[in-house]
Structure 1
Amino acid sequence: MLRLYHLLLGSILLVLIPLGAKFVLPQFSPPKEVKSLAVVKLPNPNEGNIWQKILGNATTPTNWQVAACKGNAPLLCVSSRGELLGTVEINVYPLANNEDFQKKLLATGIAPGSQVDYQSSKYQTQVLPALKAWVADHYAAFAKDRQGKYGKQITFLTYPPQPVPVGKLQGIRYGFAGLKQQGGVQEQHIGHVAFDGTKLYVITTAFDTGTQTGKFDKLENLAIFQPYLYAIAADLHLPQ
């Protein structure tokens, strides 16, 4: 019986000793060299969005917020209590790729590629006719498109272009609307355009079911935000 007990005890020790060595011995082993860990910077989800760089001290209606939308699309998100109300889009067109606007500048005495003081009264006087000509072409293209789309069911109206500051740049505010013959608004668009000597900036938003980006789903929300948009455009960090 005693021999049987010793035999069982020996078998148990053969099993336990390797396990004990596995968990206990490392505590007495020389410490391993700890390699320094590089700090990994997580990507900003809206780092590629130009609004992240140019948005100034934006004022909004009570309980409304504006911020660069997540992602790289050039959209400004307008929301209230977590609900997205609309977006404002900005597109940047390099002058080198825009022969049409180059011609408009030449017609006003500004040679493409020339160094200009965008804040001088002389330059502002020269660039305004080029911007107004751009808006006129923009109106004509939309009017032609809407005539083919709606015929006489919608009356197309344009707003007189107004010189306004866009950041530190001379800009033009423009807009147009489509009114239903039976009453009501089919669409309304608000835009700003400015030029910094090398790039054309076009800022737009709308109430229009046919527009994919840069729009509000409800006309009343666009109407509320409209004067705040004017203030936001004037306070942008432009030129970059």
Structure 2
Amino acid sequence: MLRLYHLLIGSILLVSIPLVAKFILPQFYPPKVVKSSAAAKLPNHNQGNIWQKILGNAAAPTNWQVAACKGNAPLLCVSSKGELLGTVEINIYPLAKNEDFQKKLVADGIPPGSEVDYQSSKYQTQVLSALKAWVADDYAAFVKARQSEYGKQILFSAYPPQPVPIGKLQGIRYGFAGLNQQGGLQEQHISHVAFDGSKVYLMTTAFAPGTQTGKFEKLENLTIFQPYLDAIAADLHLPQ
């Protein structure tokens, strides 16, 4: 069984890490907006990193650089003085091939083929409701996968989903954290998801030993970068 003080420490960490990242660290690392050169590097229709097309102004801590990674993988590289600190991955899911999300939209009053109305508060509310249901399923699948890997060694908890701008779209920022029973943070995941009427955009990064792409090697670097990631998401060229 978890001891009481472990639970108390875990609860404090889950609350304090997002608050530190959002309110305290930006005071020491004020956002620096760098004009992206992505417009000059548009990929062709079949090749290229999608970040080259959608990246707007790249906010970053002082002496950090943010740019689309080389190659075709949908990764955004975060580096400092030539050292890669982490990556952010974006995946795009066409609605036509996503029956589960179609059903969520229908349940919230948006049948297939509905006209997209970004200015309608009703439409935005319906989309956010469908996205929240999608987030809940994502978290359930995540916990199930991790429990099969860790058993009861790690206690997982979700951060409350929050509506945020993702380009001109209204999306949701959410995340998960895993606390080791012996103390300390085992994993932290940060995601942004949005829907443009035909595609779901999922942007993810993490501090997680088992994650292959879309991750930071050091928790402190992810914590520093988190508020800048929100700024980057808000300035993406979405919808395309």
Share of identical aligned residues, percent?
A: 82
- What residue number does 2:107 align with? 107
- What residue number does 2:134 align with? 134
Where in structure 1 do 4 or more consecutive aligned residues deviate above 4 Å? Answer: 44-47
Instruction: Tell me the distance in 2 between the aligned counterparts of 1:221 and 1:55.
Output: 21
How many residues of Structure 1 are paired with residues of Structure 2 in the alignment? 197
Q: Which has the larger radius of gyration?
A: 1
Tell me the alpha carbon deviations over residues 87-114 of structure 1, each in whole angstroms, 9 at most, x when there is no partner: 0000000000000000000000001222
Q: Does the C-alpha gap of structure 1 residues 45 and 69 become closer, same or farther in structure 2, counting only changes over 3 Å?
A: farther
Instruction: Tell me the distance in 2 between the aligned counterparts of 1:91 and 1:119.
Output: 25
Moved more, 111-120 or 165-174: 111-120
- Higher RCO (CA-CA < 8 Å; seq separation 6+): 2
Tell me by how many angstroms 1:147 deviates: 1.4
- Contact 1:105 1:127 survives alignment (8 Å): yes
- Contact 2:207 2:218 survives alignment (8 Å): yes
Scaled by the length of structure 1, the TM-score of the pair is 0.80
Unpaired segments ≥5 residues, structure 1: 1-43
Tell me by how many angstroms 1:117 deviates: 1.1
Unpaired segments ≥5 residues, structure 2: 1-40
- What residue number does 1:40 align with? none
Scaled by the length of structure 2, the TM-score of the pair is 0.80
3-state SS of 1:87 partner: strand
- Contact 1:188 1:208 survives alignment (8 Å): yes
Instruction: Tell me the distance in 1 between the aligned counterparts of 2:42 and 2:115.
Output: 36
3-state SS of 1:62 partner: coil
Tell me by how many angstroms 1:119 deviates: 3.2
- What residue number does 2:94 align with? 94
3-state SS of 2:60 partner: coil
Instruction: Tell me the distance in 2 between the aligned counterparts of 1:214 and 1:81.
Output: 20
Q: CA RMSD in A?
A: 1.3
- What residue number does 1:74 align with? 74
3-state SS of 1:90 partner: strand
Instruction: Tell me the distance in 2 between the aligned counterparts of 1:208 and 1:121.
Output: 37
Tell me by how many angstroms 1:84 deviates: 0.4
- Contact 2:161 2:174 survives alignment (8 Å): yes
**Equivalent residues in 2 for 1:136-215, closer than 5 Å:** 136-215=136-215
